[in-house]
Each structure stands twice: as C-alpha cells, then as structure tokens.
Amino acid sequence: MSMLEQTRETMRRDRVFDWMMPSADFSQRLDTSHGPILYVEDVTVSFDGFRALDELTLYVDDGELRCIIGPNGAGKTTMMDVITGRTRPEQGRVWFGQRIDLLRLDETEIASGGIGRKFQKPTVFQNHSVLENLELAMAADKRVWPTLLARLSGEQRGRIEEALETIGLTAEAYQAAGQLSHGQKQWLEIGMLLMQNPRLLLVDEPVAGMTHQEMDRTAELLTGLAGKHSVVVVEHDMEFVRSIARQVTVLHQGSVLAEGTMDQVQNDPKVVEVYLGE
Amino acid sequence: MISPKAVKVFHVVAALLLCALVAAPAGAEDFSDLLQELDTRNFRTKMDVAEQIADSGHPRAAAVLSALKDGNLYVHQSDGRIVIQQDRQGPVVDATSGKPIAEAGSLEKIRVNILMRRQMGPAIARLRLASPDPEERLAAAKAMYGELAPDDVAMIRARLEKEDNDRVRDALRVAASLALLDSGEEAQQLEAVEVLGESLQNEARNALRQAAGEEDNPAAVQEAAATALETVESRVAFYDRLEQVFFGLSLGSVLLLAAIGLAITFGVMGVINMAHGEFLMLGAYTTFVVQQLMPNHIGLSLFVALPAAFLVAGAFGVALERGVIRFLYGRPLETLLATFGVSLFLQQLVRTVFSPLNRSVTTPEWMSGSIVINPVLSLTMNRLVIIAFALLVFIGLLLIMNRTTLGLKVRAVAQNRSMARAVGVRGEWVDAMTFGLGAGIAGLGGVALSQITNVGPNLGQAYIVDSFLVVVFGGVGNLFGTLTAALSLGVLNKFLEPTTGAVLAKVLVLVFIILFIQKRPQGLFPQRGRAASEG
Amino acid sequence: MTTETVNSVAASERPVMRGGLSGILYGDTGGKIFLGVLLAVGILVPALNLLTEPGSALHVPTYTVTLLGKYLCFALLAMSVDLVWGFCGILSLGHGAFFALGGYAMGMYLMRQIGTRGVYGDPVLPDFMVFLNWESLPWYWYGFDIFWFAMLMVLLAPGMLGFVFGWLAFRSRVTGVYLSIISQAMTYALMLAFFRNEMGFGGNNGLTDFKDILGYDLQADGTRLALFMASVIALGVAYVLCRFIVGSKLGRVVTAVRDAEPRVRSIGYRVDRYKVWVWTVSAMLAGVAGALYVPQVGIINPSEFSPLNSIEVVVWVAVGGRGTLFGAAGGGVLVNYAQTVFTGVWPEGWTFALGALFVVVTVFLPRGIVGLIRRRKDKKEAGS
C-alpha cells in the first residue's frame, strides 16, 4: 500500500468499528471498506535466543481467506500467539484495522474484540453438550454477574441453531462434545468461532487427522465463511490448501518467504528449495 | 571491694608465684605429701601449706587450690587421701593425680576461712595464668577483670611479654586497662580507654560506658571513652550482622537439605510428594537407631547413619513410587492427596514403633563446641558442619545430574518421556530411581536435622510447606534456583527475627513468598522457552 | 450409555428455561434424595430428642444431636470445597482458614456475650485480654457484641480473605499444585499468626468458655436443638445455592475453566474473575460452616487453621465423590462418623485408616462413592 493511501486510510473519520458496539448483529458483518484488517509489521519473538519470528511483516485484507504454510518451526503458531495476545513480541507492531493496537490489549480483550482463534489441537469442552459449547462461545455480556443470571433469549437460540446448521451438528446438539468424532470436534470449534462473531478468524490446522470426506466439508465451511469474515488458515496439507486458497503466504524461519496464488508460490524457486531441501 | 590487707597478701603470693615459675616443679611425691598437710584444723598452717602449694608450680596446684577455695577438697576417710569432688553426686578424684578413685567412703571437707579464700582467689588466678592450656589462661585473665589494682598492671605487662595467644593477650590487656581506668590519672585513663576501645569484650564496653558517664573523670577521658564506645559499638553491630548472616545461612542450608530432594522429585519429575517431609523424618530416626546400635562410637555413628539413612529413605521412596505414585502420573492433584495419606501413615507408623515422644540424638564431640572468632562472634560447630554438608550434598547432586548416566536419563525422561523411551531409556526404572534418589537425599537431610532439632514424628511436617515454597520460589526444575532460594530465605528470616520475633518473621516470609509467587509464578529463575509460554 | 448422556444434558440444559426450586433441582436425583434425607433428619432427630423418654431405644440424646450438628457443619465445609474443586478444578488446601475465620467471628460474638460472668468479671474485655493486661478492646473487636454485625463478619471476614487471596492468585494465573501449596501456606501462616497472643484472638487457647447466644444458654438442650436445626437449614440452603450456581451459565463457564482453562480465556471470558467469584462464595460458605460449628463445640483455637485440617476436608470430598455437592457433604458426614467410631475403638488406628483412605480413594475411587454407585447403576441398566 502506498504511503498516501495509508495516510488517507488513517485520516478517515467516518469509520466506526462495529465490534466496538456491545453486541454486533450476526448478519451485519459485511464490511465494504477495502484495505487490510490485520497488520503485522516487523514482529520479532525469540525464545532463549532462538528467533521464532524474525521481523515478520504480513497484511491480511478484510474478507480475505488467507492460507499460511511453512515447514515446522516456521513460526506459524507463534504468529497466532502474538496476534491473540498470548505472546508478547520483543519488537514490531500488530494492528487490527487501522485503529486498534493489539499489543496493548490482553488475550480476553482481543478475543471479545473480534478475533477468534481455533487451536491446533481441537479443544472443545468435553463435558459440555454441543449446544452448551456454542452457548459459552456466543458473543454476549461475559462479565461474572450477568453470566450468573443469563438466560438464553429466543433470538440467541436462533443464532445457536443457525450455527448448528452451518456446522452440520444439529442432530448432535445435546450430545456431550467429548463423544463427537474428531472431525465433528473440529467443526464444533469452527462453530464456536462463529458464535463469537469475530471479524477475523485464525484457524490452526483445521483438517489435521480428518478423513477426505470431512476435509471436503471443512473446505466448504471455510470458503463459505470468507467474505463475511476474514479467515487466516494455517495448514500443512497442501492438497487442502490448494482446494481453498486464493492467496498463500509461505513462512520460513520466522519471516515471509513468498506470497501469491498457490501456483505462483509453488513455482517459486525459494519455496521449492525450502521444501525439497529439507 | 578488696580490702588493703587482702591486696597485700595477694602481692606476696604473686611475688612468690613469679619465683615459682622459675623454680623446678616439685615431684609428685612431695606434692602429695604437701597436700596431706592440709588435713589439719589450724588455719594458719593451712594458709602456709596453700602458699607452698602455690609455690610448688605443680600442674595440679591450680586445680587443688580452687577446689580448696570452693570447699570441694576432702579427706577420704578410709585411707586419708586428699580428694576432690566437684559436686555431691559427682565422681571423686585423687587430688594429686586427678584420676578418679573407685573406693567408696565418707569424705570430710577441708574447711577454709574467709581470709584464706580472699588470699587464694588471685593466687589461683596467677597459677592458672601460667597454665599451659590457653583456655585455662583465658579464664584466669577474665577472672581478674575488675579485681586488679593499678599497681598490678606492671605484672600483667610482664605476663603479656610471655603470652602468645591473641585472645589471652586481649583479655590480659583488658584486665590491665580496667585497673588503669580506676587509677584517677588522666594519662593512664586515656591509655586504658584506647586499649578498651579496641576490645570487643562486653566488660570493656561496660567499662567504657561507665567511664563516659562518670562525672569524676576528666572531660577528656569522658569524651575519649564516648568516642571509643561509639566505634566499638559499630564494630559490634557489624559482627552481630555477620552472626545473623551465619545463622541465616545455617537455617538456609537446613532448608536446602529439606528442599533439595524435593527439587528432584517435584522439580524434575513433576511429582508432588507431600510425604517428602517424612523421608526427612525417616533419616533422622535412622540416625537415632544407628546410635542406639553403637552407643560407644557416637562420633563414628553419623558416618554409618549417612548411608543407612540414604538407603532407608530411598527404599521407602522407591516403594512409594512403585506402589502409589506410578498410578497417578499426569494427575498432580491426586498425587498430592495420595502422598499426603502416605505421610500420615508414616508418621503414625513411627509413633507406634518408637513413641509419640521426641527422641534425643547425641551430637558427637567433633560437632559440638564452637569456633570463637572474637568475643562477639563465635560460630557453632554443628551449624558450620551442616552448612558444609548441605553444600556437599548439593554439589554431589549436581554431579549426579550432570555427569552420570542416571542423571542423563532423568533429564531425558523429564524433557520428553516418549522420546526417551524411543531411544531405549526405561522410563519406569528411571522414575523409580529418580524418586529413590530424591527420597534418599531427604534421608541425608534428616541425619543433619537430627543434630539440630528434636527427632519426633512431626519432624517432617514442619519442613514440608517450607520446602515446597523454596523449590517454587527458586524456580521449578532449577537446582541453582533452589540453592539461592533456600539460602536467601534463611538469611531473610534471620534478619527479620530480631525486629519482629521468630513467629512473625516466619509469617512475613510466608506472605512474602505467596506474594512473590503470585507476581512471578515461575519463580526466581524461570525456565524460558516455548514450553514456558504455553498454557 | 446414550440415555445417561441425554439425561445429563437435559439436566444441565433445562434450568435455562425453568425457574424456581424445581428448575434448579431438575434432573438432579441425587440432590433430591440428599435434600429429602436432610429434611427427614431435620424433623426426626429433634422429634426423637424431644418426644421420647431418655431411657427409650428411640431416644436421641442431646449429646448425639450436637455431634450430628457438628457433622453437618463439616458437610457444609466439604460442600464449599467441592464447589471450587469439583466444579472449578481449584484444589484448595486452605479452606480450613475460611472455616476458622467464620468460627472466630462467631467466637468473638460469643466472647462479648460473656460480659461480667468471666473469671475476671470485666464487662468489656474478654478474660484473656485482662490476663494480658490490655487496657482496652482492640478496634477490630468493636461491634462484635451486636449479633447482626457478627453474622455479617462471619461472611465478610472469610469473604475478604478469599477475595484478596483469590484476586492475587488467579490474576497472576497461579494454578494447579502451585495454588494448592500457596493456599496451604496461607492457612499455615494464619495459624502461626493466630498462635501469637499479640494478635488479640486469645493466642494458644483461642476463644472458649462461652455462656450464651442471643440470650439463650448454650448448654441448654433447646439451644442445642436450635443450633442443630440451623445447621440443617444452612446445609440445605447452601446446597440449593450451589446447585443454582453450577446450573447457571456461570456454572458452565466455571466447569469449562476446570476442563480447558486457556480455551475459556480465548473465547473472551475473564477467567480470573470467575475464579475469584467462585472462590469467594466458597470461602463464605466455609465461614458459615465455621460459625455454626463454634457454638456447638464451644471452642475455637488456632489449631483449626492447621494445614492438616484443610487437607482432611479434601479427602471427605474425594470419598463422597467430587463434583456432586451432595456427595461431598455425605463424605464429610461419613468420614467424621468413621473417625468418631474408630477413635473409640482404636485411637492410633484412625491415623492409619485416614492415611490409607487418602491412597485408596485417589488410586481406586477417583469419582468417590457417588461415582461408584452411578457406575453400578449404569452397568445394571446396560445389562437389562
């Protein structure tokens, strides 16, 4: 983005982020404004001298479905940790839109502020039913006392049912989440993400351990989400990435190695070297 | 105050004494005969004999005279021998040889009158001043504090020429200066103040305090005394501080001994063992049993107790790991409860087998006594030994962890269990051995603890919370952290104690650690890296 | 298996729609039985005490009534521990501190009620203060002669301690065994502190020689029955309250924290605040238990703070079955009854038994007695 454009974007006064409103409506998330929703600039994180992220710079556009690939240790998970406030970088800037400095917020604020994350290992609440899992994730007043007295409104029920349908678990609504199959758990996770009503979804290895059928269903789910949400998918499975990706970023040793469409990236000699050289 | 007459007698005796020092010591026969002459009712004769005894220069002279003075010298009724009995129930020893005698029989006291007693006090002091034993000379010098007249100073100085022990020299100088301070002459007083200002002894400080406040003294003396007092008191304060550090280090090394086994089982294996304190207790009881088995070799018994305690506690540890803990890996809270049950069980076991009462473990001679650095700072032997022992154990453990295959395997299993198994480490075996090692080290700690606290069923309980806090405070999995944490907590505790009292100091330290852990849950030396940032 | 699941889900889902007591207890068979038993005990015991002759086989002597009342206080304490351990996964080894604080608040009220009947006859100062030559009442004793103020303190003193401790601990994410150990250190530190005479709580001897409560003689049978009834009611109300909490959305958040804390944080809940809330409520419940305990046993002293007491409570909960509330309460009664019997027969044996109980329950009965019964039932259903 050019300097001028960036300045102009910064100076806009008409823009109010809808996540700042207490309870944004499920259907109102389409944002027509252009430009990145996520800015990651010059971010460095190191553990005991090992640089997990090395001046990483990355932009994700609003409504985009971005796939991030890279060999083990490339810094994919650490990047997500930084964005969601779990890890503090030593240097760099992370902005959500143009106005929100994510480095100043903590994990909970970021989570309730519009960035949802699905972890690598599916962690649903095993002892809660599918419906309860979705209820817990739902965007609502999450302070203690209101939660104690909370009752599901008809409208909230509607949203949960809608999500159940999207992830195809309507029949299992009252089943304990621990009894779901691996694939179903992953979808439930995505469903929980949706209930949070996030502007940006970070999805870590959604198809690990899935059957082909489940993978197709997941691909459908994720592509369906893009547009309404910005989605960042970290994945190892190349075939899956190819099936959903429009834009691919390759990370290597903590920084961006290549960026482009799947075909461009696959033919990039640097990428070939990294993948084949190992 | 001493009457002039007594002083005069004293001078005579002192003069005689100086002669006696050059005269050849009398033989045992003569001395024994001389003593026999004490068996008379005539006090004048007795006084003469006493003088002769003083002159004899015999090594037992001082002992006999002080026994005479204190009314401990008797005539044995069966054979008329002169004997000494220090207290009513005490052993009876032959006055000449100092050897105990077996024959029973009634004793008749050799009486002395007040004049004799006065006369003998300084005489005995002089005799003892010439004793070959420096402790004896020191006691003699101290006995003269406040008892000397300014005229005696010359003699003390003469004695100083020959004296080569620093502590005795100090005591002699103080004795002389105390006398000079009373002389009323400004120059001498000033000189005395100067000498006293260099001594750390209590009496010196008291005299200075008195001299500073005494209105009869010249202003210069008062002022000099006040200044000297100030300097000497700041030095005393310094040594007090040093002593606190020493006490703190000693408490810290006790904590270290208690916590270091835990640093292995908790820090490396991640097992919460609430029965850890009981392993300490087992070690202490092993010491007790070993001493019961070899009552005539107390000094040696500790060296037998050390490996024994290691084995006993280690065996219990392995049994605990195999019997209970291995079913509970990955469930830390359950482990905590189960091992707590085991700790209750072990306590009751000891109560039933031994007794609910405390058992006393004898401290061997080589560990008793203390090293006197100066009059205000002395380091007790047993504490010194424990500090050294704790450090030895620590170094030993470091070597085991870093240099042996067991250590290597332990670290491998701790870092990645399945990976370790893949390269052929038998995880189960390593778990049992590691746990045994941790428990065995607690046993060693128990041996040390038995030397400074009561050995009872609750011995371990008192240390368990402290030990956990030390490990957590130092940073789990970090042996050096444990060392630092134990020593610094010990010192902190001892520094708080004078101002707050022992209990409150402990409470404050606990509160401090609680707050600290809440501020830095990873402890003083957190493990860094990816693993640490998860969760 | 599936039927069981559907049932349990219904149990946790329905209260969302229903209100009132029936909503809170919907699907909670064990809880209904528990409340039923409690009601029966609450009626039968006083009836048998009052209506039968002392010689008759059915007569329940007042001594037994008080003993039962004591058990009920322990049951309430166990329930408060279960609330944090069973539902929130926080293993507290320091709940005895809250229990003791509640007890001390009550004890202070009872001390002030003695008035001039003490050994020294001082109208204001309790005996031990006169003994220590104190001139006047310390400020923190003010107001304890007023019953409602003392009762408020029964809730507030443990509540405040719980809040401050929880706020410090949970905000800095102290979890698991670390939390257990510092909670133990907390009660240990308090024990040491309360042993000091300077604290103004009677030091070693604590508070004792109480005379009456609200003007009624503590030794009188009627008062003892009333205290027993109060314990029954407190336990019943506490059960319903806890059930309401764990059945609410907050309860689901808290159980989610127990199962996967980071995940709860990542969906936007302030986990620390939830923990502090539950912890504080639990501390207050423990305080109430202590306050009911003290007039029935007639003494409160610093040994109530001892870490051993707190950890014993955890075993009651484990024996009964954690995460069930009524199981914890039952465990509290059961273990204490066993202790009474055991100490009568073979005094030293009790510690052995208790130690073995810890091991057996954790290794073989991780779900406690309630879990055992449920598994039996499931097997039977699967068989038929």
Q: How many CB pairs under 8 A join A and C?
A: 98
Distance CA A108, CA C265 (A): 6
Ordered DSSP codes for B42-61:
-HHHHHHHHHHHHHH--TTH
**Every domain of chain C and the residues it spans:** 4-383
Nearest-Cα distance to chain A for C255, in Å, is: 8
- Provide the pLDDT confidence category of residue A254 given band limits of 50, 70 and 90: confident
Query: Does B334 contact C at CB distance below 8 Å?
Result: yes
Mutate to test the interface with A, among B525, B528, B530 (most CBs of A within 10 A): B530
Q: Which chains have 3+ CB pairs within 8 A of C?
A: A, B
Average pLDDT taken over every residue of chain A? 81
Query: Does B424 contact A at CB distance below 8 Å?
Result: no
Ordered DSSP codes for B309-372:
HHHHHHHHHHHHHHHTGGGGTT-HHHHHHHHHHHHHHHHHHHHHHT-SS-B--PPPGGGSSEEE
- Provide the pLDDT confidence category of residue B535 given band limits of 50, 70 and 90: very low
Query: Does B332 contact C at CB distance below 8 Å?
Result: yes
Predicted local confidence at residue B24, as pLDDT: 44
B269: Cα within 13 Å, side-chain hemisphere = 31
Residue B502 CB coordination number (10 Å): 13
Q: Show residues of chain B in contact with C361, CB under 8 Å.
A: 337
- Partners of A47 in the beta sheet? A50
- Count structural domains, chain A: 1
Query: Does A6 contact B at CB distance below 8 Å?
Result: no
Contact B341 C356 (CB under 8 A): yes
Predicted local confidence at residue B13, as pLDDT: 55
Map residue A248 onto helix, strand or coil.
Answer: strand
- Partners of B390 in the beta sheet? none
Contact A123 C262 (CB under 8 A): yes
Nearest-Cα distance to chain A for B396, in Å, is: 28
Query: Does A46 contact B at CB distance below 8 Å?
Result: no
pLDDT at C101 over 90: yes
CATH of domain B239-365+378-530: 1.10.3470
Q: Which tokens belong to B379?
A: 């380091």
Name the more confident of B385 and A102.
B385
- Provide the pLDDT confidence category of residue B442 given band limits of 50, 70 and 90: very high
Q: Which residue of C has its CA nearest to B275?
A: C355
Nearest-Cα distance to chain C for A218, in Å, is: 21
Per-residue model confidence as pLDDT tens digits over C333-356: 999 999 999 888 888 888 898 899
Instruction: Please state whether beta strands A100-101 and A91-96 pair in parallel, antiparallel, or not at all (unpaired).
Output: antiparallel
Nearest-Cα distance to chain A for B399, in Å, is: 25
Per-residue model confidence as pLDDT tens digits over B66-97: 777 777 888 887 777 788 887 777 778 887 77
Average of per-residue pLDDT across B252-281 = 87
| CB of A121 closer than 8 Å to CB of C1 | no
Asked which of A108-112, B444-448, C342-346 is least confident by mean pLDDT, the reply is: A108-112
Query: What percent of chain B has a predicted confidence (pLDDT) above 90?
Result: 15
Average pLDDT taken over every residue of chain B? 80
| CB of A162 closer than 8 Å to CB of A131 | no
Predicted local confidence at residue C257, as pLDDT: 93
pLDDT at B499 over 70: yes
**Cα separations (Å) of B277 from B255, B457, C326?**
11, 10, 34
Asked which of A197-211, A219-233, B131-145, C271-285 is least confident by mean pLDDT, the reply is: B131-145
Nearest-Cα distance to chain B for C175, in Å, is: 9
Predicted local confidence at residue A218, as pLDDT: 87
Nearest-Cα distance to chain A for C10, in Å, is: 8
Name the more confident of A51 and C284.
C284
Q: Domain C4-383's class?
A: mainly alpha
pLDDT at B533 over 70: no
Predicted local confidence at residue A23, as pLDDT: 33
Predicted local confidence at residue B218, as pLDDT: 79
Ordered DSSP codes for A172-213:
GTTSBGGGS-HHHHHHHHHHHHHHT--SEEEEE-TTTT--HH
Q: Which tokens belong to C230?
A: 């109060």
Is B164 buried (19+), middle (13-18) or exposed (0-12) by CB count in 10 A?
exposed
Distance CA B212, CA B191 (A): 14
Q: Show residues of chain A in contact with C264, CB under 8 Å.
A: 136
Map residue A138 onto helix, strand or coil.
Answer: coil
Distance CA A271, CA C154 (A): 68
Q: Show residues of chain A in contact with C11, CB under 8 Å.
A: none
Most confident of A62-66, B216-220, B305-309, C202-206: B305-309
User: To the nearest 5 percent, what fractions of chain B are helix, strand and coil?
Assistant: 70, 5, 25
Query: Does B530 contact A at CB distance below 8 Å?
Result: yes
- Provide the pLDDT confidence category of residue C229 given band limits of 50, 70 and 90: very high
- Provide the pLDDT confidence category of residue B308 given band limits of 50, 70 and 90: very high
Average pLDDT taken over every residue of chain C? 89
Query: What percent of chain C has a predicted confidence (pLDDT) above 70?
Result: 95
Q: Which tokens belong to C164?
A: 């401050």
Please give the DSSP secondary-structure letter assigned to residue A229.
B
Report the amino acid identity of residue B2. I
Q: Which residue of B has its CA nearest to A52?
A: B530
Contact C192 B324 (CB under 8 A): no
Q: Show residues of chain A in contact with C274, CB under 8 Å.
A: 144, 147
Average of per-residue pLDDT across C192-205 = 90
- Provide the pLDDT confidence category of residue C15 given band limits of 50, 70 and 90: very low
Nearest-Cα distance to chain B for C342, in Å, is: 15
Mutate to test the interface with C, among B507, B513, B534 (most CBs of C within 10 A): B507
Contact A87 B533 (CB under 8 A): yes
Of A150, A174, A175, the CB nearest to C249: A150
Q: Show residues of chain B in contact with A79, CB under 8 Å.
A: none
**Cα separations (Å) of C323 from A181, A234, C85?**
26, 38, 7
Strands (E), A33-131: 36-47, 50-61, 65-69, 91-96, 100-101, 115-118
Nearest-Cα distance to chain B for A268, in Å, is: 31
Please give the DSSP secondary-structure letter assigned to residue C305.
G
Contact B345 C351 (CB under 8 A): yes
Per-residue model confidence as pLDDT tens digits over B455-492: 888 888 878 878 888 888 887 777 888 899 999 988 98
Q: What are phi and psi of C234, to 5 degrees?
A: -60, -40
Predicted local confidence at residue B306, as pLDDT: 93
Dihedral sign of CA atoms B292, B298, B303, B309 in order? positive
Q: Show residues of chain A in contact with B525, CB under 8 Å.
A: none
Is A39 buried (19+), middle (13-18) or exposed (0-12) by CB count in 10 A?
buried
Q: Please name the helix (run of DSSP H) or strand (run of DSSP E) that holds residue A232, with its range, or none.
A: strand A230-234
Q: Which tokens belong to C380?
A: 């039977």
| CB of A54 closer than 8 Å to CB of A98 | no
Distance CA C85, CA C100 (A): 19
| CB of C266 closer than 8 Å to CB of A124 | no
| CB of C185 closer than 8 Å to CB of B514 | yes
Mutate to test the interface with B, among A45, A46, A48 (most CBs of B within 10 A): A48
Q: Which residue of B has its CA nearest to A78?
A: B530
Contact C362 B468 (CB under 8 A): no
pLDDT at C96 over 80: yes
- Partners of A61 in the beta sheet? A36
Please give the DSSP secondary-structure letter assigned to residue A19.
G
Q: Show residues of chain B in contact with A48, CB under 8 Å.
A: 528-529
User: How long a stretch of residues is chain B?
Assistant: 535
User: To the nearest 5 percent, what fractions of chain A are helix, strand and coil?
Assistant: 40, 25, 35
Name the more confident of B257 and B212.
B257
Of A126, A137, A149, the CB nearest to C259: A126
Average of per-residue pLDDT across C362-377 = 88
Of A132, A174, A192, the CB nearest to C6: A174
Nearest-Cα distance to chain C for A262, in Å, is: 31
Cα three-residue angle B182-B183-B186, rounded to 5 degrees: 105
Query: Does B472 contact C at CB distance below 8 Å?
Result: yes
| CB of B150 closer than 8 Å to CB of B183 | yes
Where in the sequence is the domain holding A254, given as residue range(s)? Answer: 3-276
Q: Please name the helix (run of DSSP H) or strand (run of DSSP E) that holds residue B179, with its range, or none.
A: helix B166-181
Window 72-91 of A, Cβ < 8 Å to C: 84
Query: Does A49 contact B at CB distance below 8 Å?
Result: no
Residue B294 CB coordination number (10 Å): 12
Window 376-415 of B, Cβ < 8 Å to A: none
C150: Cα within 13 Å, side-chain hemisphere = 21
| CB of B420 closer than 8 Å to CB of B361 | no
Is B104 buried (19+), middle (13-18) or exposed (0-12) by CB count in 10 A?
exposed
Name the more confident of A79 and B366.
A79
Query: Does A72 contact B at CB distance below 8 Å?
Result: no
CATH number of the domain enclosing A17: 3.40.50.300
Q: Please name the helix (run of DSSP H) or strand (run of DSSP E) that holds residue B108, with its range, or none.
A: strand B107-109
Asked which of A81-90, B125-134, C219-228 is least confident by mean pLDDT, the reply is: B125-134
pLDDT at C81 over 90: yes
